[in-house]
Amino acid sequence: MKLEKLKIMEEHFFETYPKGFEDEYFVPMLKRHNVAKLSAFTQEVFSKEKFSYPEQIVENMTKVVSKSSMVSLFEKPRFRDAMLAMSLEKKDMLSIGLEEMLHGSFKKGFNIMLDILVEEKQAKWSLISVIPYYFSPKKHFFIKPTTTKNILKYFEVEEIVYKPRPSYEFYRDYTKMLKTFKKEVNKNLGDNNAKFTGFLMMGMEATS
Task: Examine the pLDDT at 30 and tell me if it is beyond 80.
Answer: no
The whole-number average pLDDT for the span 40-64 is 97
Give CA–CA dist 199/197, Å, rounded: 5
Eight-class DSSP state of 184: T
Reported as a pLDDT band with limits 50, 70 and 90, residue 1 is: low
Torsion sign across C-alpha atoms 122, 123, 126, 130: positive
Asked if pLDDT for residue 29 goes beyond 90, the answer is no
Distance CA 142, CA 134 (A): 8
Q: What is the pLDDT of residue 125?
A: 98
pLDDT tens digits, one per residue of 104-151: 999 999 999 999 999 999 999 999 999 999 999 999 999 999 999 999
What are the b/e assignments for 82-119, b being 16+ CB within 10 Å?
A: bbeebeeebbbbbbbbbbbbbeeebeebbbbbbebbee
Rounded to 5 degrees, what are φ and ψ at 166? -60, 150
The size of the chain, in residues, is 208
Confidence of residue 189 (pLDDT cuts 50, 70, 90): confident
| Confidence at 45, pLDDT banded by 50, 70, 90 | very high
